Amino acid sequence: MNKHINFEDTIFILNVRIKMIRDLLQLDTDTGLFLRQTMGDLEFINSALDLLTEKFLANISFLDRETEADNLSDAEWQFSQVLNEIINHSSPFSPAHFPETQTWIDKFKKDSNKRQKLIEESCTPEGQGSSEPVVSNAELNGLLGGA
């Protein structure tokens, strides 16, 4: 992969892929046909978010670090939402129908939580905690019912 990553475009395309998976969960398709591809797509998104987080943490000289952190956190939130939808018992890919999905989803959720924590820690200066609660874009989207 190139040394220079366009975070905005990469995050945009990852969010589009996440939305595609969310749409798939709403359709009446042959889930056996799409299971392997969907798990592969989730694995790709997980790996791409790993790489983006690594590059973000390594580069402290972003011009607008807060915006990039918010965008990355929002993508993580979108990813965690689709993972939650998959393990929901009404999902066509739920562990009730395909037990092997539980192992994959557990791994992806663990990875996502780890990345989210790293992103949050990288944006809070040591010894300085915010005295007021701050709502991230991802949390605001969740509160407002945005997808």
Q: Is the pLDDT of residue 73 over 50?
A: yes
Whole-angstrom distance, CA of residue 115 vs CA of residue 121? 10
Q: What is the pTM assigned to this prediction?
A: 0.79
- Percent of residues, the chain, with pLDDT higher than 70: 83
Q: How many CA atoms lie within 13 A of 44 on its CB side?
A: 14
Pairwise pLDDT comparison (32 vs 14), residue with the higher score? 14
Distances (CA, A) of 51 to 55, 63, 108, 136: 6, 19, 14, 22
The confidence band for 133, taking pLDDT boundaries of 50, 70 and 90, is: low
Identify whether the C-beta of residue 62 lies closer than 8 Å to the C-beta of residue 68. yes
Q: Which two tokens stand for residue 20?
A: 């595609």
DSSP labels, 17-76: HHHHHHHHHHS---HHHHHHHHHHHHHHHHHHHHHHHHHHHH-TT-TTHHHHHHHHHHHH
| 22 closest CA partner among 76, 71, 78, 102 | 78
The confidence band for 42, taking pLDDT boundaries of 50, 70 and 90, is: very high
